[in-house]
Homo-oligomer: A and B are copies of this chain.
Amino acid sequence: MIKVSEALAIVAENSSNMPVQRIPVRKALGYILAETLYSPIDMPPFRQSAMDGYAFIHSEKHQYDVISTSQAGDHSNIKLNENEAVRIFTGAFVPKNADTVVMQEHVLANKDSILIAAMPPQFSNIRNKGEQIAKEEVVFEANTLITPAAIGFLACLGITEITVYKKPKVAILVTGNELVKPGKKLPKGKIYESNSVMLEAALQTIGINKTKVYKVKDNLKATKKALKGILEKYDVVLISGGISVGDYDFVKDALLANGVEELFYKINQKPGKPMFFGSKKDTLVFALPGNPASSLTNFYIYVYPAIKNRMGFSDIHLPKLVRKLNDPITNTTGKTLFLKALYDETNVTILDGQASSMLNTFAIANSLLIVPDDVEGLKKGQLVTLLPIN
């Protein structure tokens, strides 16, 4: 049995980056860039007006003849004389020798001429060519997260494809003779199988949208056979159940028989102790406890950072928050506790119903509160660390 901190370190060390792939920018939200990108163009590509107004050559004069119009998208080779101006709109091309734009609100306009009421300083209201980024300058360094703004910026530079780390292909293998598919009649002694849809949904929260679910009977032969094919095809394999010490828990044997290397088995924590983590080549295997709340806890604590790491993220763990504890906690277990909790802007409350079989508490919780294994108690009012979920 290892400590939580050791288990986290082993997961981080063994979850290597996925291979890279080229994808369209418009489908790149949430991916991590795997190349340094350079701008193919100057942005703006030409001198642009920053206002609706008039472009002219700055001088002492206040009156100008309006000789032409430059709308956004227009381009002309017009050259102004010093008493001439061009009607211009935001984003439009500024004629070659004009050096200033006056906003229309500061102008008295006649049919063909203007009188500038409030003269702007020279060079006002013009966005210079390459002001935002020059051609060949770095757009983003490798390992940048692709956000909506990043997608917009890439598109405005005309970039349509980028190299990113692939998302891992994930399979879920469900074990357990007691499990019945929701929607069917429930025979005596059986329960509905809920971990696969729960884990599928949890994977969706980190951008893994296509997960294949396999089911297998609780026996060594069937489990071994099912795992053989799955281990070849997927980058991350989640197994639900069959990993505690019961006589009918074949999963660990089936994994070892398939050449999966054990990296750890059992963690000094509650809930979620009976978990196996291993690897075969680049495929990671998490055999999660069958109890739903334990399974989801370990998803957030171990599977989440492993997948983030494989996708190339630098911050791989759930973010941490600090809040003031509303009620005292005792921890006589010598284990790290992950408690379902509800936090607000300043405080955090531990919820009733922490048993590992209970999901209802998890459904109304918005965080997991961490009580370290070497902490025997936390007082009311003490500051504690928690991991926001949902």
Hey, which bits of chain A sit against chain B, CB under 8 A? 25-26, 29, 41, 44-46, 48, 50, 52, 71-75, 87, 89-93, 104, 127, 132-133, 139-140, 144-145, 147-160, 176-179, 182-184, 186-195, 197-202, 204-205, 218, 244-248, 290-293, 296, 299, 353, 355, 357-360, 362-365, 389-390
Q: What does DSSP make chain A's interface, helix, strand, loop or mixed?
A: loop
Do A201 and B73 touch across chains, with their CB atoms under 8 A apart?
A: no
User: Which residue of B73, B148, B153, B291 is within 8 Å of A189 (Cβ)?
Assistant: B73
Residues of B near A194 (CB, < 8 A) are 151-156
Residue contact A73 to B177, C-beta cutoff 8 Å: yes
Given contacts A25-B197, A155-B197, A160-B183, contact A176 B290 (CB under 8 A): no
Interface pairs (18), CB distance under 8 Å: A26-B197, A73-B179, A87-B247, A90-B246, A92-B178, A127-B357, A147-B363, A148-B204, A148-B205, A149-B293, A149-B359, A149-B365, A152-B197, A154-B182, A154-B194, A156-B182, A157-B182, A158-B182
Verify A198–B41 contact, CB threshold 8 A. no
**In the complex, which residues of chain B have a beta carbon less than 8 angstroms from the beta carbon of A360?**
132-133, 139, 153
Neighbouring B residues of A148 by C-beta, 8 Å: 198-199, 201-202, 204-205, 296, 299, 390
**Chain B contacts of A247 at CB under 8 A?**
52, 87, 89
Copies in the complex: 2
Chain B residue nearest in CB terms to A72: B178
Closest to A209 in B: B209
Closest to A52 in B: B246
Chain B residues near A139 (CB-CB < 8 A): 360
Pair B183/A132 contact, Cβ less than 8 Å: no
**Alpha-carbon separation in the docked complex, A281 to B102 (Å):** 41
Given A73-B176, A194-B152, A357-B127, A363 and B140 touching (CB < 8 A)? yes
CB nearest to A295 among chain B residues: B152
Ranked nearest first, the 3 interchain pairs of A and B with the lowest CB-CB distance are: A75-B189, A152-B198, A73-B178
Assembly CA distance A229 to B179 (angstroms)? 50
Pairwise interchain contact A153-B245, C-beta atoms closer than 8 A: no
Q: Using Cβ atoms and an 8 Å threshold, which residues of chain B touch A200? A: 26
B188 touches A46 (CB 8 A): yes
Q: Which residues of B contact A355 (CB under 8 A)?
A: 50, 127
Q: Whole-angstrom distance from the CB of A337 to the nearest CB of chain B?
A: 18
B149 near A191 (CB under 8 angstroms)? no
The docked-state distance in angstroms from the alpha carbon of A364 to that of B144 is 9
For residue A153, give the distance in angstroms from its CB to the closest CB of chain B. 4
Q: How far is the CA of A318 from the CA of B169 in the complex (A)?
A: 31
Q: B363 near A150 (CB under 8 angstroms)?
A: yes
Minimum distance in angstroms from A10 CB to a CB of chain B = 24
* Residues from chain B with Cβ under 8 Å of A48 in the complex: 357
A145–B205 alpha-carbon span in the complex (Å): 14
CA distance A207 to B296 in the complex (A): 22
A178 nearest CB across to chain B (Å): 3
